[in-house]
């Protein structure tokens, strides 16, 4: 074993991480799922996702048998959804072609969707204790600095030099401790900014530190200005507060996830002109997407039939188990927050009495939603929503403005308490 590997293993014994959930019973399946989740994502973020995933899909067979919507649902918030789709696809391949056993050689592992050379190396080293190199982001950084390997690691020549170095250092024994030690060193000591060289066991041999050029390694990605694209997302809300979502095609951005429709579907009728919400930007690796959200109250057209596999009426209060595209998730959360802010205190429906039917479902999550659900009749609520929409349009109000929300809250309370309120011009009082 070379001195480099011995130093890392010795450091890992007393300074490395030993109690991460995937380190308990480190089966190939657990190591594989954790490695995929850890790509581009911090350990602290991954832990709750990993635990939920293992509870729901404890082995390859359970994952292979699952519906992709369930897998994407458990992935919601973790990002880079291609990882989840590939995991699911690879699990099905393992069941069909490998009798449910995860391969234990690098060639077969790398033929599975989403498993590259480094992930294959991690499965072999951490689950089987086989000598195999890994080269994730943390390890690249440690090696680039320690051996002064210049250049952007995404470029072929630099990548080849890093792989050659990684391969030459793998010890013949205690390979799991070495591999975990390298990952931990990169994550906790040799960090991207402000590395703790004073606490680093590799400090005496680290060329970047000796040369005083730690910041130079690894080389930065050559800068380029990303193009900006534009789209519109429609927030279509029905009478009971559900929002219409559309399932994306399996390939392309947000593949198989549910998102807000970018075009108005034929089976919905909007009675009013939409409310324009503030623009949001979502950034991909290759471009920025500027999204203009438009919010409408809609009702279904009686003669139109929606394709049930493609469309979903999504209840914010009682969400379906599906994966959501990040901007849809963000806009739905903001809708829920805005609604919660408007409803700042419990309202009594004295105007209509409780003998009329109540709301079909809590309009908002949480205690406040329950209070409204139990005390407001459907008729009163609908009339207030109609009144509110008219007020917003007539007075050019914005739900993004705190002052406008406060005004609407006051008006809502007066309306539901049968007091004088600012009647919109188009408002017709109930019989
Ligand atoms: S000495 Fe500093 S730069 Fe070199 S590997 Fe250790 S932490 Fe990283």
Give the domain ranges of the chain: 3-216, 228-325, 343-431
Higher pLDDT, 388 or 400: 388
Is 167 considered catalytic here? no
Predicted local confidence at residue 343, as pLDDT: 40
Higher pLDDT, 61 or 82: 61
Q: Which residues line ligand 1 (CB under 6 A)?
A: 142, 145-146, 189-190, 195, 197, 200, 202-203, 206, 208-209, 214
Question: Is the domain covering 228-325 a CATH 3.30.950.10 domain?
Answer: no
Confidence of residue 171 (pLDDT cuts 50, 70, 90): very high
Percent of the chain, pLDDT > 70? 86
Contact 378, 359 (CB under 8 A): yes
CATH topology of domain 3-216: Endonuclease III; domain 1 (1.10.340)
Predicted local confidence at residue 306, as pLDDT: 59
Does the pLDDT of residue 326 top 60, yes or no? yes
Catalytic residue among 35, 174, 246, 383: 35
Ligand 1 centroid, distance to 155 Cα (angstroms) = 22
Query: Exposure pattern of 221-232 as b/e (b: 16+ CB <10 Å)?
Result: eeeeeeeeeeee
Question: What is the CATH architecture assignment of 343-431?
Answer: Orthogonal Bundle (1.10)
Q: What element of type H or E holds 262?
A: none
Predicted local confidence at residue 347, as pLDDT: 42
């Amino acid at each position: 074993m070379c001195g480099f590997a011995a130093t890392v293993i010795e450091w890992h014994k007393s300074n490395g991480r030993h109690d991460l959930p995937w380190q308990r019973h480190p089966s190939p399946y657990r190591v594989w799922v954790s490695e995929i989740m850890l790509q581009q994502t911090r350990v602290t973020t991954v832990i709750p996702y990993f635990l939920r995933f293992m509870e729901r899909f404890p082995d390859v067979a359970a994952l292979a048998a699952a519906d992709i919507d369930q897998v994407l649902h458990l992935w919601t918030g973790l990002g880079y959804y291609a990882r989840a789709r590939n995991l699911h696809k690879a699990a099905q391949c393992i069941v069909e072609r490998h009798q449910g056993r995860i391969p234990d050689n690098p060639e077969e592992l790398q033929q599975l969707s989403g498993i590259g050379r480094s992930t294959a190396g991690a499965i072999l080293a951490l689950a089987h204790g086989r000598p195999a190199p890994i080269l994730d982001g943390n390890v690249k950084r440690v090696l680039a600095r320690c051996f002064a390997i210049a250049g952007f690691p995404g470029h072929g020549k630099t990548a080849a030099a890093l792989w050659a170095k990684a391969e030459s250092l793998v010890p013949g024994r205690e390979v799991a401790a070495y591999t975990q030690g390298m990952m931990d060193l990169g994550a906790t000591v040799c960090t991207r900014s402000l590395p703790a060289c004073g606490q680093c066991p590799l400090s005496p041999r680290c060329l970047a530190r000796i040369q005083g050029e730690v910041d130079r390694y690894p080389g930065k990605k050559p800068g380029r200005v990303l193009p900006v694209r534009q789209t519109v997302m429609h927030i279509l809300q029905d009478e009971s507060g559900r929002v219409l979502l559309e399932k994306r095609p399996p390939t392309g951005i947000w593949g198989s996830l549910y998102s807000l429709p970018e075009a108005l579907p034929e089976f919905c009728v909007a009675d009013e002109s939409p409310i324009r919400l503030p623009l949001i930007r979502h950034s991909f690796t290759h471009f920025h997407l500027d999204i203009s959200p438009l919010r409408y109250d809609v009702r279904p057209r009686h003669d139109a039939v929606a394709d049930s596999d493609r469309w979903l009426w999504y209840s914010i209060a009682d969400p379906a188990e599906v994966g959501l595209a990040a901007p849809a998730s963000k806009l739905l959360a903001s809708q829920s927050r805005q609604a919660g802010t408007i409803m700042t205190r419990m309202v009594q429906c004295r105007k209509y009495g409780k003998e009329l039917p109540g709301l079909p479902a809590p309009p908002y999550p949480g205690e406040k939603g329950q209070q409204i659900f139990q005390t407001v009749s459907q008729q009163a609520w609908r009339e207030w929503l109609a009144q509110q929409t008219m007020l917003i349009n007539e007075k050019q109000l914005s739900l993004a403005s705190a002052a406008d929300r406060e005004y609407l809250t006051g008006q809502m309370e007066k309306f539901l308490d049968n007091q004088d309120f600012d009647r919109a011009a188009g408002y017709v009082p109930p019989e």
